[in-house]
Structure 1
């Protein structure tokens, strides 16, 4: 039974937690600061009722700090290496500085809301990143409840979460991806990067592959060698032998040209490694014939294991494509210039080791490379009901939830319609466009690429 003790002008209430320590003695909990004995007594009786209902959080358990709990909690998460790294960063930079010394049980909804407002006001955080930080904190508090460190999470859920003024979430402004703009990007890529750059741009725009998936694309997973060259080297892929047998019957140079998205390049602890694609979205992508020709041309030009190489011939994932490649390709740059200098007392004329022509800016200047993936979705969606939703979402590496995703399946006819629609789009553009007049192309055609372009502009009768 709870009892009250007076100490000076205030009293405290003491109650038995019904737990014993390592010596076999009862553990008591208490709370002081009361000026009314009845209120103190009632508080103790309420705690005893919680103990009987197995709903009691002891002051000792609740005194664990957020910082102490987070150190153990983060090691229990079963997430990918990039997500693990991001969560640890958010804990270190934003959550622990604010809550690290606060007891888990003392985090109140009002103080959480104040922190949420302050966090979103930070200029270095931004709307989207602040939501990710709050999501991590919400997960932390939910697990603290499950571990018996507090009764309920201080993070509001449901309707309470939406209290306050309505604020429309900002959305990136995008423009329609026009094929002439993609062609200009490819031409810029040809001038700045070489044939790899030209084919890279067209591949991303007509397959919707993520950049890291393109970096890790090996020739054994690419047309024209795939699927007969498939090394079946992913031990975590379910039913890979059965999948490969079906691929051989369905894809190939004489059937439907295709490539296989099996890996992506990411860094773990500073080391570049191959990982399954995001969301484990291994998938096969049929490619239009014009892109199949380009891939054959590119792979015939080198014997490297990876389809796309850096300018120096190394791994593309080591080249920081977004900064060093995409910026000049999308934003343009001046032609290389010689310059004069004095070195060791002698006048020198310095000539660029890799002279480049002027590269014009495109509509993608200061835009993200990832928008080419978004634009591919636009091109597929423009066909309206011609393409089944399951075929579109599977091509993008997404899953269709619910009964629709359970019963639906991507058929050969669906893939062929998708391939034909992309080919028709390019052929219409090619027939109406001369290379030298195509949005001020900055690069002359190499011999092999010139022959490829001639084949595209011929009518079907001429091609035969």
Structure 2
């Protein structure tokens, strides 16, 4: 039973928490004082706490007094996430959560205080809509785990219907235009000018496979057509894949086995996002391009940077995608003063003017989005589309569904037809928009594509 004692002008109630100090073996008591209580009010408060203890819903005032800065220091160690997600979570804790809540006890965070912080957070000019939602998601996870750790009775983050209360705000969606083959090919021609043959093939590979950029950075020769599946290091998978793709009608394939990411400053190979290992059939024209590219070197990586290093080491969006998509002025001669002397400087890699494209100011990832758009437009089954994109379909539909070779053959055929329709529409002027003349081997390939497209129309 609780007992009452007066401490000066405050009435204090104490109660047995039912716990024992592991070091001394003595019972652990908790207490609370108030100058506004009568003895009956204090006693009833103690009875309520003992009821919480009997019904396993009691949070010790000692446990709830753990400061957020201390809890945030140890909490990330309990998470099982990838290295990039771990880095992002620690950054959000350091920059936004600890500065606001660090000196507050875990058990003292109120729903009203959370709602106020949420408004203030979203009003910060440095926090965009999506990043703000990410920070709030991390905070919600943090509070849910605090409940599991018995540091508080419930989370201050509203769930369910309570979460949706207040003024309705429609979520902004990125404005998109449909991905047209003419725009994709202009990107490829710009990439050829800026980056060479690897750039031309890179743009078309991403557009016709939907691979994620990091998966393209890590594409190795043995997992790319024409080497795969014959060169697959996994014997069991090699036999199975040869039976599927090298049968009566051979289908060229790329195996998505790795993605490149940086961990602690070092480039490393990781499984694809969501461990979405997959085989991607490719249209014959792209297979020919990859054969042309791989025949030009013996490198283990399909795509290298301009200077021959790993693409993951480059700031690809800034140094590659922006000049390819946005265009750039021709390399010029400029004057500078160095060591007190005026110099005339010529670019080490002079380039002609590169025209802007329909993707000026847009994200590279839209090429992946556009690939799904093409597949949907061609009427392919949902399981074939989502599997190709590296997604899983939840529920019974995903459990029962299976991608057949006939589905893959149809994807290969429709992508090839899309390409040939474009080639036929532009004809011999296919490379007219290129800022540079095509290399001889690529020029011969283009002529063969034009001839094939003309034959399709007969």
* Structure-1 residue corresponding to 2:3: 3
Q: What is the CA deviation profile of residues 337-385 of structure 1, one whole-angstrom value per residue up to 9, with x for unaligned ones?
A: 223556678775432221111100001111111110001011111012x
Whether the 8 Å contact between 1:109 and 1:155 is mirrored in structure 2 is: yes
Whether the 8 Å contact between 1:224 and 1:292 is mirrored in structure 2 is: yes
Whether the 8 Å contact between 1:223 and 1:252 is mirrored in structure 2 is: no
Whether the 8 Å contact between 1:9 and 1:35 is mirrored in structure 2 is: no
Distance 1:439 1:70, change over 3 A: farther
Partner SS, residue 458 of structure 1: helix
Cα deviation for residue 437 of structure 1 reads 6.0
Q: What is the CA deviation profile of residues 8-54 of structure 1, one whole-angstrom value per residue up to 9, with x for unaligned ones?
A: 33311111112222222222211111332221111011001111222
* Structure-1 residue corresponding to 2:313: 318
Distance across 2 between alignment mates of 1:409 and 1:231: 25
Distance 1:435 1:111, change over 3 A: farther
Q: What is the CA deviation profile of residues 258-315 of structure 1, one whole-angstrom value per residue up to 9, with x for unaligned ones?
A: 1100000001111100000000000000000110010001111111110011111121
Distance across 2 between alignment mates of 1:461 and 1:142: 63
Partner SS, residue 396 of structure 2: helix
* Structure-1 residue corresponding to 2:17: 17
Are positions 1:281 and 2:276 aligned together?
yes
Partner SS, residue 426 of structure 2: coil
Task: From 410, 415, 426, give the equivalent of 1:422.
Answer: 415
After the TM superposition, which residues 151-170 of structure 1 pair with which residues of structure 2 at under 5 Å, given as runs? 151-170=153-172
Distance across 2 between alignment mates of 1:343 and 1:72: 51
Distance across 2 between alignment mates of 1:312 and 1:456: 30
Whether the 8 Å contact between 1:224 and 1:252 is mirrored in structure 2 is: no
Distance across 2 between alignment mates of 1:300 and 1:245: 25
Task: From 229, 232, 236, give the equivalent of 1:230.
Answer: 232
* Structure-1 residue corresponding to 2:32: 31
Distance across 2 between alignment mates of 1:326 and 1:398: 25
Q: What is the CA deviation profile of residues 390-419 of structure 1, one whole-angstrom value per residue up to 9, with x for unaligned ones?
A: 110000000011111111111110001001
Partner SS, residue 28 of structure 2: strand
Distance 1:297 1:452, change over 3 A: same
Are positions 1:134 and 2:175 aligned together?
no
Distance 1:159 1:183, change over 3 A: same
Partner SS, residue 14 of structure 1: strand
Partner SS, residue 272 of structure 1: strand
TM-score, normalized by length of structure 2? 0.95
Partner SS, residue 362 of structure 2: coil
Whether the 8 Å contact between 2:424 and 2:453 is mirrored in structure 1 is: no
Task: From 316, 326, 336, give the equivalent of 2:331.
Answer: 336
Distance 1:434 1:354, change over 3 A: farther
Q: What is the CA deviation profile of residues 135-178 of structure 1, one whole-angstrom value per residue up to 9, with x for unaligned ones?
A: 11111111111111111111110001111101111111111110
Task: From 432, 435, 440, give the equivalent of 1:442.
Answer: 435
Whether the 8 Å contact between 1:226 and 1:252 is mirrored in structure 2 is: no
Partner SS, residue 28 of structure 1: strand
Are positions 1:59 and 2:61 aligned together?
yes
* Structure-1 residue corresponding to 2:378: 383
Distance across 2 between alignment mates of 1:344 and 1:39: 83
Distance across 2 between alignment mates of 1:138 and 1:312: 45
* Structure-2 residue corresponding to 1:303: 298
Please, what is the CA RMSD of the aligned residues? 1.9
* Structure-1 residue corresponding to 2:240: 246
Distance 1:27 1:180, change over 3 A: same
Distance 1:435 1:79, change over 3 A: farther
Distance across 2 between alignment mates of 1:393 and 1:202: 20
Q: Which moved more, 1:146-155 or 1:13-22?
A: 13-22
Distance across 2 between alignment mates of 1:247 and 1:133: 43
Q: What is the CA deviation profile of residues 195-218 of structure 1, one whole-angstrom value per residue up to 9, with x for unaligned ones?
A: 000000000000000000000001
* Structure-1 residue corresponding to 2:185: 183
Distance 1:74 1:342, change over 3 A: closer
Distance 1:58 1:126, change over 3 A: same
Q: Which moved more, 1:34-43 or 1:171-180?
A: 34-43
Distance across 1 between alignment mates of 2:340 and 2:16: 89
Distance 1:347 1:92, change over 3 A: closer
Whether the 8 Å contact between 2:428 and 2:447 is mirrored in structure 1 is: no
Task: From 241, 263, 267, give the equivalent of 2:258.
Answer: 263
Give unpaired runs (5+ residues) of structure 1: 233-240
